[in-house]
Amino acid sequence: MDKFKFAFKTLEILSDGNFHSGEEIARAISSSRVTVWKSVKQLKTIGVEVFAVRKKGYRLAKQVEILNENKVSQEMGELSQFINLEFFNVIESTNTYLLKESENKPHATVVLSNIQTKGKGRRGRSWQSKLGESLTMSILWKFGVGASRLSGLSLVIGIALKRAMDKLNIPNIFLKWPNDLMLKNDENLFKIGGVLIELKGDMESRCSAIIGIGINYEASNSLLKKIDQPAAGIKNLLSPDVSPNHLVCVFIKEVFSILSNFEENDFSYFKEEWIKYNAHHNNDIKLTKPNGELVFGKIIDLKENGSIIFENNKGEKETILTAEIGLT
Ligand code: BTN
């Protein structure tokens, strides 16, 4: 049984941002006022701010739209036949869950959660996933090829997310190598999403990829403070009638479509498209290597395995598979 069942039923009632009395909520969720009180306490433990005011009842700090399993699977249409959709209200991390469960779960399992309590980012960082702030999902894809063939996968997922943004009519979205989704405003870049891919299996024959996607949705000030680079959410860039349920469907559809294509073609097929979306095309950048070494120069090309060809300020060229990029 979902231990957050009543908490999320309570949340559904409160999601309009208005006051609701304990009695009214209890009636609506067919439970007692004590259960409502406990549910509110439980919501607070997972970072949901609920105000209690005497004689008025409970109210959320702000209106919020919760992901809804039925709405998502309905909108997935025909694709839902091929997907094993798993839905959580609260989970530690959708990636950690699929990493543990990958052997027991079918190909094309999609895990969605409203809240992650220990969301993971790349390079050991955390991914902030409070209610309503971030869209978080992981996809399990079982490849018939080994991990050595998948080095361009994370870049390809970046392309899928950029295509999804185009479908949603969100302009000025670019990719920062390897797969950050960035919003360009004047010449400034703001992170709006990222991809964390974890592989299980062997290098040569077959392997499972857990593809974790996080998109900043409603970036509160407290969220922005916790992110170590300029960031933004996409909510402000969308018309108010676009729901998070619709957004996750658009992302999942684009990712599925590109994955089927990536199984048949390697990264070289997608390379030109990635270069077109490169946020740092022809820019002077600084690059921090895994050993901490800092180099200055330009990305001049991409290799078929997704690594960059970097030309430093002295004109020396180098192929780089892992590094962090920033503007000079
Ligand atoms: C990054 O830019 O650092 C990658 C962020 C990836 C975050 C997503 S949210 C869903 C999935 N579950 C996690 O714990 N992380 C990924």
Q: List, for residues 90-122, the tens digit of each pLDDT value.
A: 999 999 999 999 999 999 999 999 999 999 999
Q: Is 55 helix (H, G, I), strand (E, B) or coil?
A: coil
* This prediction's pTM: 0.93
User: Which of the listed residues 112, 116, 154, 196 should we mutate to test ligand 1's pocket, taking the one with most ligand atoms within 8 A of CB?
Assistant: 196
Residue (of 155, 156, 258, 149) closest to 201 by Cα position:
149
216 in ligand 1 pocket by Cβ < 6 Å? no
Nearest-atom index, ligand 1, CA of 93 = 14
Q: List, for residues 29-61, the tens digit of each pLDDT value.
A: 999 999 999 999 999 999 899 999 999 999 998
113 in ligand 1 pocket by Cβ < 6 Å? no
**What gap in Å lies between CA 19 and CA 209, rounded to an integer?**
44
Q: Is the distance from CB of 110 to CB of 137 less than 8 angstroms?
A: yes
**What gap in Å lies between CA 1 and CA 221, rounded to an integer?**
35
**What gap in Å lies between CA 47 and CA 263, rounded to an integer?**
40
Nearest-atom index, ligand 1, CA of 194 = 2
Ligand 1: centre distance to CA 196 (Å) = 5
- φ and ψ of 201, to 5 deg: 135, -155
Q: In the numeric block, which tokens belong to residue 47?
A: 């970072």
Average pLDDT estimate for 167-182: 95
119 in ligand 1 pocket by Cβ < 6 Å? yes
Q: What integer pLDDT is reported at residue 328 of this predicted model?
A: 67
**What gap in Å lies between CA 218 and CA 235, rounded to an integer?**
6
Nearest-atom index, ligand 1, CA of 120 = 14
Nearest-atom index, ligand 1, CA of 125 = 3
Average pLDDT estimate for 160-175: 97
**What gap in Å lies between CA 219 and CA 225, rounded to an integer?**
10
Residue 186 CA, chain-centre distance (Å), reads: 25
The percent of residues in the chain predicted with pLDDT above 90, rounded, is: 72
**What gap in Å lies between CA 115 and CA 303, rounded to an integer?**
37
- The answer on pLDDT for 1 being more than 70 is no
User: Which of the listed residues 115, 213, 216, 223 should we mutate to test ligand 1's pocket, taking the one with most ligand atoms within 8 A of CB?
Assistant: 213
Q: In what order do the strands lie in the sheet with 294-302?
A: 317-320, 308-312, 294-302, 285-288, 324-327
Q: What integer pLDDT is reported at residue 220 of this predicted model?
A: 81
Tally of residues, the chain: 328
Residue 124 burial (C-beta neighbours within 10 Å; 0-12, 13-18, 19+): exposed
**What gap in Å lies between CA 168 and CA 163, rounded to an integer?**
9
Q: List, for residues 113-154, the tens digit of each pLDDT value.
A: 999 999 999 988 999 888 999 999 999 999 988 888 898 999
208 in ligand 1 pocket by Cβ < 6 Å? no
Q: List, for residues 212-255, the tens digit of each pLDDT value.
A: 999 999 988 887 888 878 999 999 999 888 999 999 999 999 99
325 in ligand 1 pocket by Cβ < 6 Å? no
Ligand 1: centre distance to CA 50 (Å) = 26
Nearest-atom index, ligand 1, CA of 113 = 10
